[in-house]
Amino acid sequence: MTTSAPTTQPPLLEALTSAFPTEPAPLGDEVRRLLATGVPTQKHEAFRYASLRKLRSKAFDFSAPSGAVDSPDLFVCSGLENRRLVFVDGMWREELSSLQTPSQDLTWDVGPSQLATAPEHHELASSDFFENLNQLGDTPFFHLQVAEGAIIDTPIHLAFWNTSSEETYAVRRGQVRLTVGKGARISLVTSTGGQGNYLSNHHLQFELAHGAEVQHYAIQEDPEESFLFDSQHVLCSEESKYSLVAIGFGTEITRNRYRVDLLGERAIANLRGTEVLSGQREHHKVITVHHRAPHCESNQHFKTILGEKSNASYDGMIVVDQIAQKTDAFQLGANLMLSEEARIHIKPSLFIHADDVKCSHGATIGQLENEEIHYLRTRGIPHAEARRLMIYSFAAEILMEIENAPLQNQFADSFLARLIRVEDSLSPAKIS
Amino acid sequence: MLEIKDLSISVENTPIIKNLSLTVRRGEIHAIMGPNGAGKSTLARSIMGYPGYEVNQGSVLLDDKDMTELEPEERATSGLFVSFQYPVEIPGVNNAEFLRMALNAKRNSQGLEELDPLDFDDLLTQKMDALHIDRDFKNRGLNEGFSGGEKKRNEILQMAVLDPKFAILDETDSGLDIDALRIVSSGVNQLANEQNGLILITHYQRLLNHIQPDHVHVLLDGEIVKTGGKELALELEEKGYDWLKQPSHS
């Protein structure tokens, strides 16, 4: 069976058609499935708030060669210079990586994707277009393994860098699977950035064995014109703990899909993040935390600062299975609007099938308080700086969750630098 | 010299301060007392240019320089300080770092070099020790989770660091227990000297047992209706404010 593509095919599907054959199976089947699903539009609930029409005015290319990477402007973590694994356009680049020798505690390998063949894949499969797009064909794959009982507290830095030399948007796909052995602990930084026009479509899959712990600090610094449709899937076994602190600045469209499956009893997931958005940047979070076992705990806490005509959303779903008694699930989205033209959408949803659980959610939307700014000004702090301090104060609660002090400072510095740019872009009339 | 001349302030078109004049010289301590709603806090806030307060007429002069048209931060760097009745909590902004920013803003305006963190820390430690303030204050967020008494002490610490020419303390005694009142008062007494002037705004005479004013003014309905020495405070304690509302006494 062949599917004839409609004549007014969206550019992303057009690129998909020319990059992947619809025959033979099994790849062909997957391609056809994606073509049949089609690129989502804002009519799809999971994509309601992102301005996906922007994808219609661009051209895409799945096989664009990588651009020059002589000096990628990677996020620099001081003290972690020798602990960096660099990925360019999804591919691990050993020669650019400062961490080159595996150890007993930490090993890695590359090769054909293991994600589709993992036993849990079918049960926990995603129906998300972009997650499925990531898994199509020979996506570059990297498997990082933390040995049982290993303790890696000095963070490992995974730096993702995307390139493109054409006006056409290069679609950059990559997969990283992190498996953390029983009782092991790892601290991890992921940074994303790049040059030129690209659509990033990366997938991270973290699998935590019994009692394993992952501290994940993520920073997205991609150029304004890029599209990010990245996803992350976290699978937590019994008594494991996953903690995320993510900071981001949005792009033309950034859509982060997070899925967390709490599979074993007493597993914990903490997802925290803050974003500061300027111009017409967009940042969308689509989060599903699924409690599949009893006595698990999940916390979501995100704070978004919106300037100018930025647009953000937080679609947070908590699912509690019938078996997942004594679940403790919490979700909070707080938003600070710096401009009348910015837009925020918050959509919490709870699906609770167990009867003995504690679940709550909340959302706040506010503006800077004149009284607070005035207080700072009466101590001699200039108006612009007083505003910045107040905005920083709003996000500080999230940044303070970064347990590694130098890293906390660096994330805070990047955040402040971006904040200054957002504030500078506001006209004086708007900050009176 | 701080001169408030014929000052009239309205808030949302309601006149609150009416033709008020008051002169405070360096080395003097003045107390302004009055019942609730007399306009005491409005006066204090307006001196720093509180947003939304309208100056209908008059001026505030600091050493002959008109403050009325200046931004709050310019008034602060010129040497005015007003302690807040309810200081704002700003989590995540380090108290010591904030104080350094504030002091450096003042030094910048005076053409002085900024203090680096180490020099500032020496200065701050010295001020904190003199005021018997726990050094733990340095590492906390600005007023974050502070008790009422701690906030008031932190205001006095800010005053000590910024070393203003004139300070207005707006109900610094409210909400303080006896011990906290003694600590805050002794801090204020340490800071008062021949080079600065102080206005204490208070409901109660008890603060004036700890800090001796040179002059006491009674504010009623936006006007100063009586001025006297510190014995006036005792008289008010005994008789209340009602007798001053009679036309014969105003």
Note the pLDDT tens digit of each residue in A295-334.
Answer: 999 999 999 999 999 999 999 999 999 999 999 999 999 9
Q: Name which of A428-432, B103-107, B184-188 the model is least confident about.
A: A428-432
- More confident call, B177 vs B225: B225
Q: Which pLDDT does position B250 carry in this prediction?
A: 41
Q: A380 CA to chain B: closest CA distance, Å?
A: 4
Q: In chain B, where are the structural domains located?
A: 2-249
Q: A377 CA to chain B: closest CA distance, Å?
A: 5
- Element holding B103 (H helix, E strand): helix B95-109
CA B202, B203, B208, B214 dihedral sign is positive
| Residue among B73, B90, B158 minimizing CB distance to A383 | B73
Which residue out of B60, B88, B162 would a mutagenesis test of the A interface target, given it has the greatest number of A Cβ atoms within 10 Å?
A: B88
- More confident call, B215 vs B177: B215
The reply to whether residue B76 touches residue A370, judged by beta carbons under 8 angstroms, is no
The reply to whether residue B98 touches residue A389, judged by beta carbons under 8 angstroms, is yes
The band of B246, judged by pLDDT with boundaries at 50, 70 and 90, is low
CA angle, residues A259, A261, A262, in degrees to nearest 5:
145
The reply to whether residue A382 touches residue B75, judged by beta carbons under 8 angstroms, is no
The reply to whether residue A392 touches residue B92, judged by beta carbons under 8 angstroms, is yes
| Tens of pLDDT, residues A79-95 | 888 999 999 999 999 99
| Tens of pLDDT, residues A139-150 | 999 999 999 999
What is the distance, to the nearest Å, from the Cα of residue A21 to the centroid of all Cα atoms in its chain? 30
A261 pLDDT above the threshold of 80: yes
Cα distance between residue A170 and residue A389, in whole Å: 38
B114 touches chain A (CB under 8 A): no
- Contact list in B for residue A379 (CB cut-off 8 A) is 76, 98, 102, 105, 158, 162
Do the beta carbons of residue A143 and residue A114 sit within 8 Å?
yes
A117 pLDDT above the threshold of 80: no
B72 touches chain A (CB under 8 A): yes
| Residue among A370, A380, A396 minimizing CB distance to B76 | A380
Instruction: Determine phi and psi for A95, rounding to 5 degrees.
Output: -70, -20
| Tens of pLDDT, residues A33-68 | 888 888 888 888 888 899 999 999 999 999 998 887
| Tens of pLDDT, residues A131-140 | 999 999 889 9
Tell me, letter by letter, the H, E, C secondary structure of chain A: CCCCCCCCCCHHHHHHHHHCCCCCCCHHHHHHHHHHHCCCCCCCHHHCCCCHHHHHHCCEECCCCCCCCCCCCCCCCCCCCCCEEEEECCEECHHHCCCCCCCCCEEEEECCCCCCCCCCCCCCCCCCHHHHHHCCCCCCEEEEEECCCCEEEEEEEEEEEECCCCCCEEEEEEEEEEEECCCCEEEEEEEEEECCCEEEEEEEEEEECCCCEEEEEEEECCCCCCEEEEEEEEEECCCCEEEEEEEECCECEEEEEEEEEECCCCCEEEEEEEEEECCCCEEEEEEEEEECCCCCEEEEEEEEEECCCCEEEEEEEEEECCCCCCCEEEEEEEEEECCCCCEEEEEEEEEECCCCCEEEEEEEEECCCHHHHHHHHCCCCCHHHHHHHHHHHHHHHHHCCCCCHHHHHHHHHHHHHHHHHHHHCCCHHHHC
Q: Which pLDDT does position B247 carry in this prediction?
A: 60
| Residue among A380, A383, A393 minimizing CB distance to B93 | A393
Q: Which CATH architecture best describes the domain B2-249? A: 3-Layer(aba) Sandwich (3.40)
- Element holding B126 (H helix, E strand): helix B117-130
The reply to whether residue A400 touches residue B92, judged by beta carbons under 8 angstroms, is yes
Whole-complex ipTM:
0.95
Mean pLDDT of the residues in chain A: 91
The band of A264, judged by pLDDT with boundaries at 50, 70 and 90, is very high
Secondary structure (3-state) at B212: coil
Q: In chain A, where are the structural domains located?
A: 59-368
B249 pLDDT above the threshold of 50: no
Structure token pair of residue B33: 């007392």
A187 pLDDT above the threshold of 90: yes
| Per-range mean pLDDT, top range of A242-246, B106-110, B172-176 | A242-246
B15 touches chain A (CB under 8 A): no
A82 touches chain B (CB under 8 A): no
The band of A118, judged by pLDDT with boundaries at 50, 70 and 90, is low
CA angle, residues A394, A396, A397, in degrees to nearest 5:
90
| Residue among B50, B52, B162 minimizing CB distance to A379 | B162
